[in-house]
Structure 1
Amino acid sequence: MDFIGYRSDALGAAVDLVNAVIEDPEGRVTDQLRGVLLAHSYRALDAPDSVEPALRAWARRLRTAFEVSTVQEAAAAINALLVDVSVEPHLTSHEDTEGWHLHYAAPEAGLVDRMRATTAFALAMLVSEYGISRHGRCAADGCAKVFADSSRNAARRYCSAACANRSAVAAHRARARARAASGLR
């Protein structure tokens, strides 16, 4: 499912950025952040380590849009993000290397500003199109990761198949213990 018609996976970049920071909230995650940037075509091979604090701060702010209970809360969280984003939409083809596509940040914008504009607009487009039914925090006990659901049935509740499987196994074992405790087979 293409949420925003953007050639890169901007929504996936938002999810991956938030999750990279969650995995190591106190330590340095430069390699993980660089991996996120490269995976989402931000041309970050030469990204200085100095962008890390800004990306970590942005990830924490993005997270607020995933931890909402109502569309109104989502709109407020995303509007707060959009207020701080400098936007200058334009078409680019990266000198004919990627085909024409839309960028939200100015051509001369730095890496952090491009990431901020793209991810904020991805979340805004997602919520404006689908409400809050297609993104959130993983439902698995003990998992703090976020997800965006691109499935047809909009039924995703977990960040990964691993979390979904662990939760299913835990629920099965809990039911088995309850049956055993009640004397049923």
Structure 2
Amino acid sequence: MLIPIADYAAGVEVANDLVGTSPDVRGSEAIPGELADLLAAHDFRAPDAADAEKIRFLRGEVRAVMESATEDEAVERASLLAGHAGLAPVLRRDPSGRWQWYVPTARDASLVGELAAVIGVALLGLVRALGHGRFRACAAPGCGGVFADASRAGRRRYCTPELCGNRLNVANHRARRRAVAR
């Protein structure tokens, strides 16, 4: 696998989706089928039974990067993730013929190793391009989620917009209806 260094946003979404499977966000642990669907959506192979527990541990490591107190701590933790299966960067031509930096993974890398390397490289790219301030806690009341904001505007507020953002919008709508009914 070749991990593009310049295209960190795709890897950040993998990280956000993985951290979003946490019981702190969902209220319960993701079931293995949901984890397989998440990985398939990001073009990773399906996890086997042994991978599931390792991926849950990896989720905690990724969350620790996002919750890091300083930029230096985030870089140190993300570098450890990138080193799980990542090798020295290489310069290769992309499909359009332009030279791009890539981080290859070891030929015998496990699913969890490749996942960690993709996320680690992406989070390092995010810190370099956009800064440590893009790691945030979810703004939804009662949610314990965290996320990395790779959006251009940098205005993302929720760890899982379709879940946390929707919950808050529904609660605000109901509060407005109650206020009008009085």
TM-score, L = length of structure 1: 0.70
**CA distance in structure 2 between the partners assigned to 1:24 and 1:138 by the alignment:** 13
Instruction: Point out which structure has higher relative CO (alpha carbons under 8 A, 6+ apart).
Output: 2
User: Which is greater in Rg?
Assistant: 1
SS at match of 1:142: coil
Q: What are the within-5 Å matches in structure 2 for residues 31-180 of structure 1?
A: 31-44=33-46, 47-82=47-82, 85-88=84-87, 89=89, 102-159=102-159, 160=161, 162-164=163-165, 166-167=167-168, 170=172
Percent identical? 30
**CA distance in structure 1 between the partners assigned to 2:38 and 2:9 by the alignment:** 12
Contact 2:9 2:126 in 1 (8 A): no
Alpha-carbon deviation of 1:124? 1.0
Alpha-carbon deviation of 1:173? 5.2
**CA distance in structure 1 between the partners assigned to 2:9 and 2:155 by the alignment:** 24
Contact 2:138 2:158 in 1 (8 A): yes
2:19 aligned partner: 18
Alpha-carbon deviation of 1:27? 4.7
TM-score, L = length of structure 2: 0.71
**Unmatched tracts of structure 1, length 5 or more:** 178-185
**CA distance in structure 2 between the partners assigned to 1:68 and 1:85 by the alignment:** 19
**Unmatched tracts of structure 2, length 5 or more:** none
Alpha-carbon deviation of 1:103? 4.9
Change (3 A) 1:166 1:32: closer
Change (3 A) 1:18 1:28: closer
Q: Deviations over 1:130-173 (max 9, x none)?
A: 11232322111111233332333212221215534544655x95
Number of aligned residues: 166
Alpha-carbon deviation of 1:38? 0.3
Moved beyond 4 Å, runs of 4+: 23-28, 89-92, 165-170
Contact 2:5 2:103 in 1 (8 A): no
Contact 1:10 1:122 in 2 (8 A): yes
Superposition CA RMSD, Å: 3.6
Select the residue among 30, 33, 37 that pairs with 2:32.
Answer: 30
